[in-house]
Structure 1
């Protein structure tokens, strides 16, 4: 009896596994992709916390990483142990991070290398935290809302329109055409269907762009680095075209530049290292243009105009150069303002895009409804003439 029950229970589990297994795998894959950026940033924040704690105890970053790895704590993750192994071979932190590329985003690696250049990694940790905290506090709600709208809601209307236009509407109009004795396609119904098709075509294009943005967000810096091989440097141009991303690039650059200048680094080297800390190729090219301007005899406050077309960074840096507290203290308020403006623009763009697509969905559905009702209206109009 017990054996029969076990066999029956096993068969039931197999049936449920075959029935719901693929669905569970699909949902797990969606969950894994949706949480991948947050896990990546959480790993970066965790390592930054460890480095800061070690620096406060008087340890170097290398000693901190090696000491943690020797504790055999599994919560650190395999990549931290790989990083410690590279350091034990005699590499510095920045060199070891290059050997473990998936541990931190390239921008954070460049910032930590800049900290090594000035001999104090602790000074660049606040700038690193701003980079690591962007998506944690600013993109979680917007990304989830966009994910629901883009992946679930938006593909439904084009699919419904395709089914109606291919299988339903022609037969529907044929029936009413026979009853009315005329071709109703040439009339309001045909015009409504064409209008609905155009609206849905625009919606499909916008949805495709949103899919691209979501893919770039999920893929992270590594996917952006792969896009550099595409002609036109798409991976660097997309962040540069988005105003909130551009403000964050300027925030990261100005914060790191202030730290490097206060540490006494030469202006040309400080510009290049700060630009590398943004992880953006376009910003790096602008920094090279500013360096050439410095080499031609211009002052830093004049050469920096090549980095910011608005001119605001120019006069901010000019005021900071004459201030008593150094560049970092003078630019701190402006850096926080850039962060706040970037957050505001990002949220506004998210709400505008999702609201606009929802409205377009409603309009396309309404036009489809009018197209379906139009033959009935024309049929009633013809019957009244009889």
Structure 2
């Protein structure tokens, strides 16, 4: 068997026949099987069985009566049951076009890699199938946050949130995975340094049925992300929280001494900007310093960005106080909370970005292959 296609499904009865038809057309000439791993509450299992009876390629069904691990658990179960070591994982709603499977397989054959990611964010790719602009923004923001939390392991991956990818199952220690959400690729890449290549793809509109995206899924994603990376961001948050308290304390003291609240806010911001950088550089990003720009460049970039952020934040603070009549300390606390996320993403992806390799191709690029980010071990 050259390839196993793993399709986790939940109430996708209307998509099964079309997915099999398009996959067979796209993969003609290849020895391939399709495995549906189904957690449905509708008639999807019966539809899969019916389609399998007449399909011109092997179609298998794993129906999980008591599913565990959500979509990620379904993917792992399908991969472990596959006849081929080379597996393509894709959604069952046809937003991942079966016609792109050949491109994934070709990239795997021509490159010495463990994973080939189908990316919406490479040149030639598109996220146009997302329902609206809000979902596009959420997707972009989630991707940026994810890359910020794993800045080195995901440095070469533009779309770690995709559910469309090829993987050689021999490259992963499956017993070490604890799938708990719908972003199984993220968990695979976060737990082990793998060789990764990407190909672009166009995220299409759903063929049939309803989207599974929900607020609950968003909470599951954040929980999964926190479980995978409960180190760097927590340290950044701890220092940021201390800085926020110091900021508010300095501001309150200056106001008590008679200073205008905007002047007090500016002074407090400058003091905490410098202090926070020194602490973060020493304790949070110390494992990334050797691969990043020199200290003076990191400080200059951080200081410039934080002051630019303050130039935006202070007028917003003034607007909240003057127009919305929010008490000044409370308004400052709100703006600082928003600024925390923005600062973390910027520092992870920009301030401590790995340096480009030298002209002879030495050191820095090689060091990217050595991951030192701490990943919390599961019990």
Is TM > 0.5 for Structure 1 vs Structure 2? no
TM score, norm. by length of structure 2: 0.24
TM score, norm. by length of structure 1: 0.24
Q: Relative CO higher for 1 or 2, CA cutoff 8 Å, sep ≥ 6?
A: 1
Structure with more of its chain in helix, by fraction:
1
